[in-house]
Structure 1
Amino acid sequence: MAFFRAFASQLAISQHVLQKTPCAIAIISRSSSSATDLKSLLAEKIQEQQVYVKSFREQYGSKVIGEITVDQVYGGMRGIRGLVTETSYLHPEDGIKFRDFTIPQIKKLLPKSPGGNEPLPEGLFWLLLTGEVPSAEEVRSVSKMWAEKAEIPPHVVTMLNNFPAHLHPMSQFTAAIMACNTESKFAKAYADGVSKNMYWEYTFDDVMNLIAKLPPIAATIYKNLYRNGSPISAVDLEKDWSSNFTSMLGYDNPDFTELMRLYISIHSDHEGGNVSAHTVHLVASALSDPYISFAAGINGLAGPLHGLGSQEVLEWLTELHNDLSSDATEAQLKDFVWQTLKSGQVVPGFGHDVLRRTDPRYTALREFALKHLPDDPMFNLANNLYRIVPQSILALGKIKNPWPTVDGLSGVLLRYYGMKEIHYYTVLIGVSRALGTMASLVWDRALGLPIERPKSMTTDGLMKLVGAV
């Protein structure tokens, strides 16, 4: 943040603007907007940030910020700094930082439900969009807005109810989101020739409508596949977003609702380079509407290398539990882990490309489990592995980060509360990931980011470039 403060001084941005927030986005007076009007507040911040970014690019646009190796070109562009994502940043030590706030900070600072202890996702969405920690009143305004906009279009309900039972829940989720684009205000405004300066406003309207409809879409899929097509409960305008969601799913345990608030918040964003977030950004850069763009990202999330982590961890833990039982000794656990590693497999839920310590999302879930399910056999098994697996992986001498990721516990917790349908878990991540990707999309449009079009090369061309031929 020292860079941003120094740079802001160069640009003659008033010092009081930057002292009120830990993130780069400027904070200005709210006197011109009502206390709970998210769109008006965002409009103020967008105007300030547009000036901020324009000035930065004018002075530093030609500055080189890094070099690219041949291995990076072949290796999925890993580590290449080539995107702007305003909402979050993955720090190798602190983990994901939402507008520069760590997970422990958001757990402490964001508003909770009455009597609850976990952050409300509506509050995190407000933070991702504005850079400000919202008040309880502001969060309630978002909860109410999403409840009011939750109704699914009739043709989408008909489509969901006519899908065959063998169609994967992620395929159903994607198709339903796509079909909702009949409601797109952005698509209509673009067709009517709206000014580019107003793209973000119609995008914001679509984003709010889309996020509102995700819980009933996801719950309808769940009920059709796993609860004999029983109807979802009606939306309660007095409930928060997560509470309505768990009610629609058919769960009435308040602890499960608390888990869902935490789960959605910590899965909401993971900077812009992961497959789902990048896909949303890429497709939206062609000015596809938010529904189509988010559906594209969900297709990326459905891939086994991206969104199936918690499922794979739970399957592996179940196999371990069945082989050794819940009271396995430390020596038996170590032997099982070594058998997995020696067979050329990875231990699911351990190791991360960027993080260099335990994923703070895992820590948040572990704290929840220690409080709510300390005696659960599967949690105790996972908790014992937390002590054993890193040392075993480090002994191989090849992995920089052997520590557990969020996937190491998320499935265990869902299973404990009765959600044992592992193929559905990725849908929950999809609902969560809407908060970050859609907040980013609003800012993509506000800043006028262009269509994404990186340059590709043939192997022969790359060899000539580096002097190999």
Structure 2
Amino acid sequence: MSNSIAIDFLHNLAVLAEKNNYIASELYQKHNVKRGLRNENGTGVLVGLTNVASVQGYKLEGNIKKPAEGKLFYRGINVEDFVLGFQNQKRRGFEECVYLLLFGVLPTEEQLAQFNQLLDEHRYLPANFTENMILKIPSKDIMNKLQRSILVLYSHDENPDDTTISNVLRQSIQLISRFPTIISYGYQAKAHYFDNKSLFIHAPQAGIGTAENILYMTRPDNAYTQTEAEILDLALVIHADHGGGNNSAFATHVVSSSGTDTYSSIVAAIGSLKGPKHGGANIKVREMVLNIKENVSRINDRGILKDYLWKIIKKEAFNQEGLIYGMGHAVYTKSDPRTSLLKGKAFELAIEKDRVDEFNLYKNIEELSLELFKELKGDSYDICANVDLYSGFVYEMLNIPPELYTPLFATSRIAGWCAHRIEQLVSDQKIIRPAYANTCLTEKYILLQERA
């Protein structure tokens, strides 16, 4: 088959596949299917129980969804209080956050020190892994490289399929420790082999924690400021979990319920997070802001900026999807607590980097978008900036390349994934198996030689 014939054949097959896989919207209504596992009032369908994290963004009065200030709890502790606790003591918080999510309690000073040492002992990759798995098989996509690396780590595990909690905990701690190393080396390989940049492979350092190791291993000179380390640590903390219903955590529950190994469960979660509707939103914000800078003559002029944001909403600008990326959330209505935490620290970093004008652009996008949605939908309409509005800007100020934005999310969220996996194994051994209604009509089998 010639190349042109093959292309035409594949095109025709694609048309056929699309035609015969389409299910009309009215059929979903007819069968009372809750698409996206959402109720008609926008709330999520209750499919499980969790003690790991709780997301509160509205109140229910009967069946009516009422806006409320957003709150996020890790093991019952308000994340805002948790962050205030370690920041006031000038400590890093992510490792303490991991401990809390995995074990359900706050560590003592001695327990935290021992846990930090345990994480440090596992940050190194197996012998020859970096050369054979990462450098010899580089990938343009670091999430893809992360998935493949996790699957190969299965082969380095002497007891990979044991799902006892002690073994799963060992695997979880090893993976949490190694994620920063894998994404850092994966990026270095990508930058070298695809972007013709110099190759830097820095060994992880003991005693500096997850956030500082990421900065240390991704930068050629290993240098970073205290403010940079603090804001990246904060970003890791506020992204560590978001309840059992978020797409990647739910994927972890679903796959873990089958009784499979830890590596397969985590790879499934990474695959979920890789999707632009889940883990890639901050990249969309960055693309939108770049578009605004290119098309708004004076970005600090709120009137001109508001006019352009209105064009974006009307699908006349940017990608014609009518979305202000970084605004709105599936659960939060009045506020996203992660946004206020990151926004305050982002301002500190903007001062240090002499980028306050750019910070004000993001702040104006937030404020003007709120005005526009009120004008469009009425004063009673509630929408808030989500954490993605500022997280991409923070990573940009940290000189973290966009290819690492979602892998950084994964490096944080694996703490929650592992906690949810353990919870599934301990509490509910029943395989998750929801129902799908079949809408296909019964057909007779036709012999090959009789088919048209």
TM-score range normalised by the length of the shorter chain: 0.7 to 0.9
Hey, what's the Cα distance between the residues in 2 that align with 1:189 and 1:126? 22
Secondary structure of the residue aligned to 2:212 is helix
Write the letter of the residue equivalent to 2:50: T
Query: Is 2:368 the partner of 1:388?
Result: yes
Query: Is 2:338 the partner of 1:361?
Result: yes
Deviations 1:374-425, CA, capped at 9 Å, x for gaps? 4513211001112111121232228954211000000101111212x21321
2:384 alignment counterpart: 403
Native 8 Å contact 1:317 1:378 kept in 2:
no
Native 8 Å contact 1:89 1:97 kept in 2:
yes
1:282 alignment counterpart: 254
- Offset at 1:69? 8.5
Counterparts in 2 of 1:260 and 1:185: CA distance versus 1, 3 Å: farther
Identity rate, percent? 24
1:108 alignment counterpart: 84
Map 1:126-275 → 2, pairs under 5 A = 126-154=99-127, 156-157=129-130, 158-164=132-138, 167-184=140-157, 187-189=160-162, 199-226=164-191, 228=197, 230-250=199-219, 251-253=222-224, 254-275=226-247
Query: Is 2:322 the partner of 1:345?
Result: yes
Hey, what's the Cα distance between the residues in 1 that align with 2:108 and 2:32? 43
Native 8 Å contact 2:102 2:418 kept in 1:
no
- Figure out how many residues of one structure are paired with residues of the other and give that number: 381
Native 8 Å contact 1:127 1:134 kept in 2:
yes
Counterparts in 2 of 1:440 and 1:186: CA distance versus 1, 3 Å: farther
Counterparts in 2 of 1:274 and 1:94: CA distance versus 1, 3 Å: same
Query: Is 2:45 the partner of 1:80?
Result: yes
Native 8 Å contact 2:154 2:263 kept in 1:
yes
Please report the TM-score for the alignment, with normalisation by the length of structure 1.
Answer: 0.76
Query: Is 2:259 the partner of 1:299?
Result: no
1:443 alignment counterpart: 423
Q: RMSD between aligned alpha carbons?
A: 2.5
Identify the range of structure 1 (218-227 vs 291-300) with the bigger mean alpha-carbon deviation.
Answer: 218-227
Hey, what's the Cα distance between the residues in 2 that align with 1:72 and 1:361? 35
Hey, what's the Cα distance between the residues in 2 that align with 1:161 and 1:140? 33
Counterparts in 2 of 1:358 and 1:226: CA distance versus 1, 3 Å: farther
1:314 alignment counterpart: 286
Native 8 Å contact 1:223 1:231 kept in 2:
yes
Please report the TM-score for the alignment, with normalisation by the length of structure 2.
Answer: 0.78
Write the letter of the residue equivalent to 1:163: I
Deviations 1:47-88, CA, capped at 9 Å, x for gaps? xxxxxxxxxxxxxxxxxxxxx997972421121100222210
Hey, what's the Cα distance between the residues in 2 that align with 1:109 and 1:72? 46
Secondary structure of the residue aligned to 1:335 is helix
Native 8 Å contact 2:52 2:420 kept in 1:
yes
1:59 alignment counterpart: none
Native 8 Å contact 1:382 1:408 kept in 2:
yes
Hey, what's the Cα distance between the residues in 1 that align with 2:32 and 2:326? 25
Identify the range of structure 1 (370-379 vs 211-220) with the bigger mean alpha-carbon deviation.
Answer: 370-379
- Offset at 1:325? 5.1
Counterparts in 2 of 1:209 and 1:200: CA distance versus 1, 3 Å: same
Map 1:56-75 → 2, pairs under 5 A = 73-75=33-35
Deviations 1:145-204, CA, capped at 9 Å, x for gaps? 111012212454212112245x311111111111111244653546xxxxxxxx111111
Hey, what's the Cα distance between the residues in 1 that align with 2:172 and 2:341? 28
Counterparts in 2 of 1:80 and 1:152: CA distance versus 1, 3 Å: same
Structure 1 gap segments, 5+ residues each: 1-67, 191-198, 462-469
Deviations 1:277-317, CA, capped at 9 Å, x for gaps? 11111111112211111111101111111111110001111
